[in-house]
Structure 1
Amino acid sequence: MRNAIEETDEGCIIHLKVKLGERRRFPAGYDEWRKRIEIEVNEEPVRGRANRQIRAMMADFFALNGDDVVMVYGHKAKEKGVLVKRSMLEVEKFLKNGL
């Protein structure tokens, strides 16, 4: 799972694989082949609705404000990178408790 997290000066970029499902879940698993953490959303990827849901879910999961979660790439793709303004140690702790 550590392969899916990249530390930066601002926080950590979490590499995600988005799956459309009937419910919202984060983390929904780990894709070892793609080295990405899975997230399930129930919003259609229309006009940024799924991206907004992803940001809100991650902000809630990591106990952050919405401004502290920033999508850095993959705005129109299933594979995304999301910057979370927390340290690597904090991110790993949250994820271990969530999986």
Structure 2
Amino acid sequence: MKAIRGVEDGVLVDIEVSPGSSGFSISSYNPWRNRIEIRIRSIPQRGKANKEIIQEFSTITHKEVEIVSGHKSRQKTIKIFDTVENEINRIIKDLIS
């Protein structure tokens, strides 16, 4: 998946967010946009959606996560620290519903 790429201190993951869902899920990989599509419960208000994204990815990967771009956009890039591309690829493929 082109949405996942390794960097010096972790992995960058390009995501597209659909807020207002019944729960968090990683729904699919969009090959045209090269983004992983995720659904979240929170609405994009006062950082609630960003907090949910960080919390859920931290729980899934057991790593520190931060949003590096797209704080006010549906298209975001998150950074997962202290891991490798292959591990994140495996985790996300296992979770795509």
Contact 2:24–2:41 at 8 Å: present in 1 too? no
Q: 2:71 aligns with which of 70, 75, 78?
A: 75
- Note the residue ranges of structure 2 that are not aligned, 5 or more in a row: none
Aligned to 1:54: 53
C-alpha deviations, 1:21-49, integer Å up to 9, x for none?
32223321111211100111111111100
Q: If the length of structure 2 is used for normalisation, what is the TM-score?
A: 0.90
Higher helix share: 1
> How far, CA to CA, are the matches of 1:21 and 1:28 in structure 2?
14
> How far, CA to CA, are the matches of 2:87 and 2:57 in structure 1?
14
1:96: how far off?
2.0
CA RMSD of superposed structures (Å): 1.2
Q: Which amino acid aligns with 1:56?
A: Q
- Note the residue ranges of structure 1 that are not aligned, 5 or more in a row: none
Percent identity between matched residues is: 27
> How far, CA to CA, are the matches of 1:47 and 1:59 in structure 2?
20
> How far, CA to CA, are the matches of 1:31 and 1:25 in structure 2?
17
Q: Which amino acid aligns with 2:28?
A: G
1:60: how far off?
0.9
Q: If the length of structure 1 is used for normalisation, what is the TM-score?
A: 0.88
